[in-house]
């Protein structure tokens, strides 16, 4: 970083004509060399500083250059200013000010991956696949994603209006009142037949502790005898790798959870502690859908490969890359894709996703109407699946993935309710497996 600053400042005294001559010469050198030419970058920056129609600050040019450089690598790498870095750390801690929306850039348009449950965005009915056309009248096309996030966030109690494009519907406005978003990522309840239900809405630093507390409460309510557990990861956009590893470890007794494979000796396998299973012998189903991404896929893939759970639902999102946060000594940070992750059997989730053992689609009446179904493979610059780690790894899941339906996700407000047909199917599966009589449970209205 310091070296780049010195190169930039080295041409500050050059005149416009000299700068143009330098830039042409530098471009000729760059054309003959496959190595990065920092002098060319510096020369172009000086052209902009001297000849652009409006004055441009050097710091702004540097920031924009870094953002452009990282943004064109893949959909998940980015440069963050110091302010953006601090905001990102707040997100990881599970507490921030805003409206509760997970968004990603797709073709220059901010697209909703998932609204966070029990937040202004979730309560307003925003849905996966919605495109944010403008924020308070300011068009978002081509705008840096972090700039859009900053515009949406603001002082609690103030209002922000998002213009939303949803499928074939006309663009409509959604006013949202900002508030402090303190995400409690785990929700739980006991279903009839002493079957537990746990939903994880995202993977934050507090998720493993919240999960332990939820399991302890469920076991207490069931007098220590849970007959099954539904782990609901639908519409969970992911989060921290460490959190996904810890959550997976709570249902395994030792063994591999996930492996990451990087470029320069960064290979690492994460293992579960011995005798760590919180529910030994208790059958588990995991629910996933097209909005289950990243950390959600790590957990689903680990429990599936280790034969600890039956995965139900529809094909997941397919984000199988690992991002590292690299601070730059007061100059912000890089969010850099440094590795791909692999399930215990050695298969990559990237570009493919997790294929459920039992496909259960949400009935049409429960699906998000006119939803656009985005997948990792549709994002510009997304990596293709590299294949299994070795030829001996069985590719059965990957072969099946090509023929799996990518159906619209269930409406957020129905998840976990009596009208949730996918949950009903998971409960029925556990009840049939345990021959438990489902006393008091009413079937959903639509199947």
Dist. CA 229–CA 232, nearest whole Å: 9
Yes or no: say if 162 and 140 are a contact pair by the CB < 8 Å rule.
Answer: no
Could you give phi then psi for residue 405, rounded to 5 degrees? -70, 140
List alpha helices for 115-267, DSSP H: 120-123, 145-152, 207-221, 241-249
Dist. CA 277–CA 306, nearest whole Å: 13
Q: Quick one: tokens of 371?
A: 């939803």
Q: Of the listed 188, 243, 248, 294, which one is catalytic?
A: 294
Is 144 annotated in the active site? no
Dist. CA 42–CA 39, nearest whole Å: 5
**What are the percentages of helix, strand and coil residues in the chain, rounded to 5?**
30, 25, 45
In 3D space, the residue among 280, 212, 214 whose CA is nearest the CA of residue 246 turns out to be 212
Q: DSSP letter for 100, please.
A: -
Dist. CA 231–CA 312, nearest whole Å: 10
Crossing angle (nearest 10°) for helices 241-249 and 207-221: 30
Q: Of the listed 117, 236, 246, 305, which one is catalytic?
A: 305
Dist. CA 439–CA 431, nearest whole Å: 11
Is 319 annotated in the active site? yes
Yes or no: say if 420 and 410 are a contact pair by the CB < 8 Å rule.
Answer: yes
The DSSP element (H or E) to which 160 belongs, if any, is: strand 159-165
Dist. CA 65–CA 445, nearest whole Å: 54
Yes or no: say if 259 and 301 are a contact pair by the CB < 8 Å rule.
Answer: no
Which active-site residues does the annotation give? 294, 305, 319
């Amino acid at each position: 970083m310091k070296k780049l600053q010195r190169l930039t400042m080295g041409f500050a005294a050059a005149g416009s004509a000299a700068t143009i001559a330098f830039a042409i010469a530098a471009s000729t050198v760059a054309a003959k060399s496959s190595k990065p030419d920092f002098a060319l970058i510096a020369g172009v920056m000086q052209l902009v500083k001297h000849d652009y129609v409006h004055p441009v600050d050097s710091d702004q040019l540097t920031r924009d250059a870094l953002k452009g450089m990282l943004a064109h690598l893949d959909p998940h790498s980015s440069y963050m200013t110091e302010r953006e870095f601090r905001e990102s750390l707040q997100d990881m801690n599970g507490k921030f000010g805003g409206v509760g929306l997970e968004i990603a850039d797709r073709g220059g348009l901010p697209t909703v991956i998932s609204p966070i449950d029990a937040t202004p965005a979730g309560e307003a009915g925003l849905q996966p696949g919605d495109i944010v056309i403008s924020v308070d009248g300011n068009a978002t096309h081509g705008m840096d994603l972090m700039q859009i996030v900053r515009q949406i966030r603001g002082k609690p109690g103030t209002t922000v209006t998002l213009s939303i494009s949803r499928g074939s519907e006309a663009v409509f406005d959604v006013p949202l009142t900002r508030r402090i978003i303190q995400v409690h990522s785990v929700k739980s309840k006991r279903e009839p037949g002493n079957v537990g239900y746990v939903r994880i809405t995202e993977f934050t630093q507090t998720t493993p502790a919240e999960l332990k507390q939820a399991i302890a409460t469920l076991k207490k309510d069931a007098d220590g005898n849970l007959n099954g557990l539904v782990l609901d990861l639908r519409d969970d956009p992911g989060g921290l790798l460490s959190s996904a590893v810890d959550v997976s470890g709570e249902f395994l007794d030792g063994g591999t959870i996930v492996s990451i494979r990087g470029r320069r000796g960064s290979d690492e396998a994460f293992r579960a502690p011995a005798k760590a299973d919180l529910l030994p012998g208790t059958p588990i189903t995991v629910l996933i859908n097209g909005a289950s991404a990243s950390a959600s896929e790590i957990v689903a893939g680990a429990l599936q490969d280790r034969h600890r759970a039956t995965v139900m639902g529809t094909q997941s999102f397919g984000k199988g890359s690992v991002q590292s946060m690299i601070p730059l000594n007061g100059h912000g940070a890089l969010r850099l894709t440094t590795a791909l992750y692999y399930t215990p059997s050695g298969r990559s989730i990237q570009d493919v996703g997790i294929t459920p053992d039992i496909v259960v689609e949400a009935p049409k009446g429960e699906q998000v109407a006119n939803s656009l179904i985005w997948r990792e493979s549709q994002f510009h610059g997304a990596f293709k699946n590299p294949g299994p780690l070795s030829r001996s790894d069985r590719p059965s899941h990957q072969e099946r993935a090509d023929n799996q339906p990518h159906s619209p996700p269930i409406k957020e407000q129905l998840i976990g309710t009596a009208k949730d047909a996918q949950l009903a199917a998971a409960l029925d599966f556990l009840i049939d497996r345990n021959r438990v009589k489902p006393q008091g449970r009413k079937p959903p209205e639509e199947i």
